[in-house]
Amino acid sequence: MTPTPVTLHPQKQPAVPIPFDDVLEEIGFGRIQHELIVLCGVIMMAIICETMGVSVILPAAKCDLDLTAANQGLLGGATFLGIMASSYGWGYLSDTRGRKNVIILSLALTTVCSLASSLASDFATIVVLRLLVGMCISAPSATIYAYLGEFTKTERRTMMISFASVAVGLSSISVGTLGWIFLSFNWRLNLFDVVEFRPWRLLLILYSLPGAIGAIWMVFLPESPKFYLSQGRDDKALAVLQRMFLENHRGCTVEDFAVKRITPEVDAEEAKAKPKGFLAVMGSMWQQTVPLLRRPNLLYFVVCCALQFGMFFVSAGMGLWYPEIVNRVTSANQSVPATICEVLQGVHSSDEDFVAYAEKECDDRMTQDVFVYVIVLGSIYTFLYLAMSTLLQKIRRGHILFFNLFTSGVCGVLLAYVNDPYFVLLCFCAFMVFAGSSISLVNGAAVSLFPTHVRAMAVCLSLMMGRLGSVAGTNLIGLIMEDSCTLTFNVFAGCSLLGAMLTLVLPSR
């Protein structure tokens, strides 16, 4: 008697592992990605409020804290120094302990330190607290790009990051608008005869709110599925992907999700091994960095670091001096058209150099023009980020990046020679904005170019070089602007033009 053939039920057959990108294709682009874009926008707003908001507060706080011009420069740069000091450690933790946990912890610590800094009664205390703010905000300032990019396919990552980066422009508008509203008041409130609470302190508290909101919101969102895969936790990754599918396809159930297994990226047992002891952790951090210093990652890593240094050098270095320089250009009573350098040298001719000008007397009043200029700059940033996000669907990332940096460089060169005040302001804004908006494009490139297990480290280290560029640019202007104004603008413009050439090394997509 011939035995009856046995057939397996389709559901009983072994599930075929599916590559991660194919799973994301199945999930599609929808509700969960939109929520992540908004959340990451809020976190980027927190980063800008904590790093650039101080530049609006400094003039209003200088009398209360007895700040000299040198003190103001140190206080303004303290946050950036903190970011530089902690980037390496946060990058390691993000790649080994998870994006979500690191972002929540760092945002919570940022909020606490920022609130404490609003009650600082002397220069030393507030500098230390702002340094701690920088050390904490360093984590989300880089990790958020890796986190956001890992919820969508490679070709959509830069577009997602660019859309989220619209918040950079909106936060600049918010910083200027809130400053305009609250610093126009002159009330004083004595707290326990220790601290005189004034509007600038309230403004610091308001600037800390986006970080608190971001930390709370992040609690309700999943860890990056790509991170779970890199740690050999495929079951956790699958659970997150199922959640993403259900979010994007309302009315569907888990049974409708065709994917039952994901192609593993690492050996599960190997991934579970964690270093113990200080030396073991240091060794693990170094091993996390070594892949970036070897082919095929080395060239792209060096180029990303160089680009970040140059873009921050131009946008943040010039940005800190932006209100002061533009205020002098627009308020100068020139009988004949003059270049920006001729206007600044006109101020210097009265025996007041570029830095000492702010020290002649303690006057913490701020003109409305300062806030208007900050709001205008933020509006331009917002428009350009929106334009880039749309264009990225049609034009390659590398082409937009080259155009931005080349345009920035040309505007920087023109800035030292044009004499029409409106054209000067146009060139000044374009000079900074085209360089600054390119930062998100390079972050998007880094998220796409580097493997998951070193991705956050690569972004953190490249952004650390960017913060170094911020500090270098800010201090260079203070050192050489008064004696070599034209040279200063040419050096900054040269950085943008050199960056444009370096973009040709990176893949255009």
| pLDDT digits 0-9 by tens, 412-463 | 888 878 877 778 788 888 898 899 888 888 887 887 777 777 777 787 788 8
Residue 54's region, left for phi above 0, alpha for psi from -120 to 50, else beta, is: alpha
Mean of the per-residue pLDDT values for the chain?
A: 80
Considering only 250-264, 355-369, 456-470, which range has the smallest mean pLDDT? 355-369
User: Would you say 317 and 473 are in contact if contact means Cβ atoms under 8 Å apart?
Assistant: yes
Report the 10 Å Cβ neighbour count for 331: 11
Report if residue 7 sits inside a domain. no
3 domain-assigned: no
Amino acid 301: pLDDT? 85
Residue 352's alpha-carbon distances to 347, 355, 473, in angstroms, are 7, 8, 22
User: What secondary structure letter does DSSP report for 195?
Assistant: E
420 or 218: which carries more pLDDT confidence?
218
Do the domain assignments include residue 9?
Answer: no
Mean pLDDT of 176-191: 85
**Selection from 299, 301, 281 nearest residue 458 by Cα:** 301
Whether the predicted pLDDT of 2 surpasses 70: no
The set of residues, in sequence order, having a beta carbon less than 8 Å from that of 31 and lying 6+ positions away, is: 247, 248, 250
Q: Which residue has the higher pLDDT, 441 or 12?
A: 441
Phi/psi for 195 (5° steps) reads -125, 135
Long-range pairs of 73-78 with CB within 8 A, sequence gap ≥ 24: 73/474, 73/475, 73/478, 74/127, 75/123, 75/126, 75/127, 75/130, 76/320, 76/474, 77/470, 77/471, 77/474, 77/475, 78/127, 78/130, 78/131, 78/134
| Sequence-ordered list of residues with C-beta below 8 angstroms from that of 69, at least 6 positions apart, any chain | 355, 356, 358, 359
The identity of residue 442, as a single letter, is: V
Per-residue model confidence (pLDDT) at position 210: 93
Alpha helices in 332-367 (DSSP H): 340-348
Distance (Å, whole) CA 320 – CA 192 = 34
What would the two tokens of residue 88 be?
Answer: 């390496």
Q: Is 430 exposed, middle or buried (0-12, 13-18, 19+ CB in 10 A)?
A: buried
| Residue 160 within any structural domain of the chain | yes
- Joined together, the tokens standing for residue 12 give 């009983």
Beta carbons of 186 and 199 less than 8 angstroms apart: yes
Kindly state the average pLDDT of the residues 232-257.
87
Which residue, 204, 223, 221, is CA-closest to 111? 204
Q: What is the pLDDT of residue 5?
A: 46
Under a CB-based contact definition with an 8 Å cutoff, are residues 195 and 65 in contact? no
Q: What angle do CA 112, 146, 133 make, to 5 degrees?
A: 20
Bond preceding residue 17 cis, omega within 30 of 0: no
Helix (H, G, I), strand (E, B) or coil at 144: helix
Query: Per residue in 256-293, pLDDT tens?
Result: 888 888 888 766 555 555 555 556 656 666 666 777 77
Which of 116-125, 136-145, 342-351, 481-490 shows the lowest mean pLDDT across its residues?
342-351
Q: Is residue 312 within 8 Å of 440, Cβ to Cβ?
A: no
Is pLDDT of 43 > 90? yes
Residue 217 lies in a domain: yes
Q: Using the structure block, give the residue that is written with the tokens 């533009």.
A: 326
- On whether residue 278 sits in a domain, the answer given is yes
Residue 6 lies in a domain: no
Instruction: Tell me if 354 sits within 8 A of 474, measured CB to CB.
Output: no
The neighbour count for residue 130, using CB atoms within 10 Å, is 27
pLDDT at residue 351 in the model: 41
pLDDT tens digits, 298-345: 888 888 889 999 998 988 888 777 766 766 666 665 556 677 777 766
Selection from 239, 288, 283 nearest residue 262 by Cα: 239
- Residue 140: name the closest of 128, 132, 129, 148 by CA: 148
CATH number for position 44: 1.20.1250.20
pLDDT number for residue 366: 65
| Structural domains in the chain (count) | 1
1 located within any domain: no
Query: Which residues constitute the domain of residue 402?
Result: 15-505
> Nearest 10 degrees: CA dihedral of 103, 105, 106, 112?
140
Place of tokens 């403004």: 203
* Mean predicted confidence (pLDDT) in 351-373: 60
% pLDDT > 70, the chain:
83
What was the pLDDT predicted at 10? Answer: 46
pLDDT given at position 282: 63
Contact 273, 427 (CB under 8 A): no
Per-residue pLDDT reduced to its tens digit, 151-166? 888 777 777 877 888 8
Per-residue pLDDT at 13 exceeds 60 = no
pLDDT at position 22 over 50: yes
